[in-house]
């Protein structure tokens, strides 16, 4: 760990200095240590607002980079920065990627396909009954389950993974020092996750308490680590909807379990479905989002080519024995995006093709010989 990393760790402790502002400083100074001697006008040139500059100047003299580093080591924590080669690639392109990550456990778990599972802290008996069954298949296919280790849905997702001998990641909204870990009632769960080969992760300094504005930042990491996000139960005001929002912004798929229309915790999920989230009614719906087909689709034997247009036949030929993303289909058939999308929708309604998730298509009919 170099001196610049230690000073970057220290700067991340300053209240109000988030990843975007911190990146501005590094872009301007090219060195975290320089921020400890910079003048007000230097910070101004870096693009920071006066109030934040005042906070930095006031707080930086109380920071001890060496002491923080020693305390982090003493706590048994690992740290990685955005500028190191082992920094998770999947996080590099999200909105405001965390410049410093603290963790316990195996960081390489991030390299596996991941499903974010988030929802209400006030979990219903309905969700308690169905969620384990929905997740078992994904876990058996080595899909990592990522969540926030909160009470309710999060904890159930982590425990279900552990019970099925899978890997899970907990992204925390506080520091990872044991006396600061939030919620404190889940310290044992955190240790079980690590012992099972999983990972607990936070962008917050080791000795930071959980604060309300920490959790939206945590949620962007949960979404950022995952190829798809499953929203289990959520009211209109649920933090799970923030995770869904980040997932959509990052180009990831949002899945949702529909709930009874008269329950508050169904309102947020049902709204997501109304706005285009993928309905999860079985474990297969989750697997399809990862391009996994758990059971072979029944092929249509008696397909009359006379019923199909030339463009439809071309798409069926393209999909022969393959699973292709819509972008590849467009590339092969040289049609406009809007025309191809309409064709695919029409062909799916006819039962000739199937979207197995993430705009990946397979053919359900045998292509013509000629």
Task: Give phi and psi for 115, each to the nearest 5.
Answer: -115, 120
Going along the chain from its start, the domains and CATH numbers come out as: 3-74 (1.10.150), 103-288 (3.40.50.450), 305-363 (1.10.10.10)
Tell me, what's the pLDDT at 3?
A: 55
Please spell the DSSP secondary structure of 264-279, one letter per residue: HHHHHHHHHHHTTPEE
pTM, rounded to two decimals: 0.78
CA gap 312, 255 in Å, rounded: 29
Q: Are 269 and 237 in contact (CB under 8 A)?
A: no
Strands 228-231 and 253-256: parallel
Of the CA atoms within 13 Å of residue 353, those in its CB half-sphere come to 33
Tens digits of residue pLDDT in 264-294: 888 999 999 989 999 999 998 999 888 876 5
CA 283 to chain centre: 19
| Ranges of residues in the chain whose predicted pLDDT is under 50 | none
Tell me, what's the pLDDT at 370?
A: 52
Tell me, what's the pLDDT at 99?
A: 93
Q: Are 252 and 359 in contact (CB under 8 A)?
A: no
Tens digits of residue pLDDT in 112-130: 999 999 999 999 999 999 9
């Amino acid at each position: 760990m170099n001196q610049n990393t230690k000073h970057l760790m220290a700067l991340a402790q300053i209240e109000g200095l988030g990843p975007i502002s911190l990146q501005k400083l590094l872009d301007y100074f090219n060195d975290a240590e320089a921020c400890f001697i910079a003048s007000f006008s230097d910070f101004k040139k870096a693009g920071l607002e006066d109030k934040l500059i005042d906070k930095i100047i006031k707080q930086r003299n109380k920071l001890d980079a060496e002491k923080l580093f020693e305390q982090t080591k003493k706590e048994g924590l690992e740290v990685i920065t955005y500028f190191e080669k082992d920094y998770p690639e999947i996080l590099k392109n999200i909105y405001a990627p965390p410049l410093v990550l603290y963790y316990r456990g195996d960081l390489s778990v991030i390299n596996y396909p991941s499903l974010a599972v988030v929802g209400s802290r006030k979990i219903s008996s309905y969700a308690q009954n169905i969620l384990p069954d929905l997740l078992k298949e994904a876990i058996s296919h080595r899909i990592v389950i990522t969540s926030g280790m909160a009470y309710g849905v999060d904890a159930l997702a982590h425990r279900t993974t552990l019970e099925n001998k899978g890997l899970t990641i907990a992204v925390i909204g506080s520091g990872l020092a044991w006396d600061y870990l939030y919620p404190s009632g889940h310290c044992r769960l955190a240790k079980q996750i690590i012992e099972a080969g999983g990972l607990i992760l936070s962008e917050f300094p080791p000795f930071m308490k959980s604060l309300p504005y920490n959790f939206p930042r945590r949620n962007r990491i949960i979404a950022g680590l995952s190829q798809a996000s499953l929203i289990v139960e959520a009211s209109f005001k649920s933090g799970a909807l923030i995770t869904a929002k980040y997932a959509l912004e990052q180009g990831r798929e949002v899945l949702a379990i529909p709930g009874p229309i008269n329950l508050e915790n169904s309102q947020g999920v049902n709204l997501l479905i109304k706005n285009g989230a993928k309905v999860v009614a079985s474990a297969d719906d989750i697997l399809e989002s990862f391009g996994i087909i758990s059971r072979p689709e029944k092929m249509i034997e008696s397909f009359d080519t006379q019923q199909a247009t030339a463009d439809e036949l071309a798409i069926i030929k393209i999909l022969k024995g393959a699973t292709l993303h819509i972008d590849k289909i467009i590339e092969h058939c040289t049609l406009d995006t809007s025309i191809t999308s309409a064709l695919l929708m029409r062909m799916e309604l006819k039962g000739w093709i199937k979207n197995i998730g993430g705009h990946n298509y397979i053919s359900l009919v045998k292509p013509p010989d000629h």
